[in-house]
């Protein structure tokens, strides 16, 4: 999975599609998020379930344990290792959903340049990406080491013939189960390993190469190009 995504609709739109009935503790705001070209280290809207209900927070995309200051914070975690490896052990129990509209991948074009592609659900519903992280504590200020990673899976030879990894995208039903702290770790691992949405759920198209510069924003970046 390449490190670029869109998160442009409002948080209430995402939560409505998730169908969690409880009131949301919203630290994101009510306006459209309008992030058409979000890059790693960006503060993104993230959903996590705590004892007092569903939280919507802005959290940095990228995380590393305190003992790994000698390397850049990863933005993704491979599902084959995330539950058992030492790197993400501290945050594996802290599950979240990153609700997005689409993500981008790059593939080598015939002229040896990289052509960006947009990938989204065919039904245009939100894309619920499984994530884990360290989130703001209830009532506390965000900490410098808060962050999250998106859990990725092997895409069986290259999802859409574009990339060999992709985010684990969950249906609303499984996203709710993933978020629930009462879901056992073994069940969460099973969801991540076996029950992500298949490639049949998605569609994709070429977009303008301007998306390669993360300073570029706006709806034009998600439009189909010839």
Q: What are φ and ψ of residue 193, in 5° steps? A: -80, -30
Most confident of 49-53, 82-86, 102-106: 102-106
Confidence of residue 203 (pLDDT cuts 50, 70, 90): very high
d(CA 171, CA 186) in angstroms, rounded, equals 19
Calculate Rg over the CA atoms of the chain: 17
Least confident of 12-16, 24-28, 133-137, 142-146: 142-146
Least confident of 14-18, 137-141, 197-201, 218-222: 137-141
Task: Transcribe the chain into DSSP letters.
Answer: --S-EEE-S-HHHHHHHHT--SPEEESS-SS---EEEE-TT-EEEEEEEETTEEEEEEEEB----TT-TTSPPPSEEEHHHHTTSSTTTTTTT-EEEEEESEEEEEEE-TTSSEEEEEEEETT---EEEEEEEE-PPTTSPPPTT-EEEEEEEEEEEEETTTEEEEE-EE-HHHHHHHH-TTS-HHHHHHHHHH-SPPGGGEEEEE--GGGGSTT--SGGGGS---
Please state the pTM of the whole predicted model.
0.92
Catalytic positions: 2, 105
Task: Provide the pLDDT for residue 214.
Answer: 92
Amino acid 177: pLDDT: 96
Q: Grade residue 162 by pLDDT with cuts at 50, 70 and 90.
A: low
Given a cut of 90, whether residue 112 has pLDDT beyond it is no
Task: Look at residue 158 and tell me whether its pLDDT is greater than 60.
Answer: no
Domains and CATH numbers, the chain: 5-222 (3.90.1680.10)
Model confidence over 33-50: pLDDT tens digits? 999 999 999 999 999 999
What average pLDDT does range 5-18 have in this prediction? 96
């Amino acid at each position: 999975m390449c490190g670029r995504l869109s998160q442009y609709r409002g948080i209430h739109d995402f939560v409505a599609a998730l169908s969690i009935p409880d009131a949301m503790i919203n630290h994101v705001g009510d306006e459209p998020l309008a992030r058409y070209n979000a890059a790693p280290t960006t503060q993104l809207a993230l959903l996590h379930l705590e004892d007092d209900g569903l939280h919507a927070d802005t959290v940095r995309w990228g995380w590393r344990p305190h003992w790994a200051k000698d390397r850049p914070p990863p933005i993704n975690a491979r599902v084959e290792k995330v539950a058992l490896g030492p790197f993400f052990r501290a945050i594996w129990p802290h599950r979240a959903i990153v609700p997005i509209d689409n993500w981008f991948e790059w593939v080598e074009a015939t002229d040896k340049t990289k052509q960006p592609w947009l990938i989204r659900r065919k039904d245009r519903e939100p894309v619920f990406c499984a994530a884990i992280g360290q989130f703001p504590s209830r009532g506390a200020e965000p900490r410098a080491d808060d962050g999250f990673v998106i859990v990725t899976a092997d895409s069986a030879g290259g999802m859409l013939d574009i990339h060999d990894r992709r985010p684990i995208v969950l249906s609303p039903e499984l996203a709710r189960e993933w978020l629930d702290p009462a879901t056992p770790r073994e069940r969460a691992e099973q969801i991540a390993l076996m029950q992500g949405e298949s490639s049949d759920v998605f569609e994709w198209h070429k977009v303008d190469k301007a998306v390669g510069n993360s300073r570029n924003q706006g709806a034009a970046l998600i439009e189909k190009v010839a």
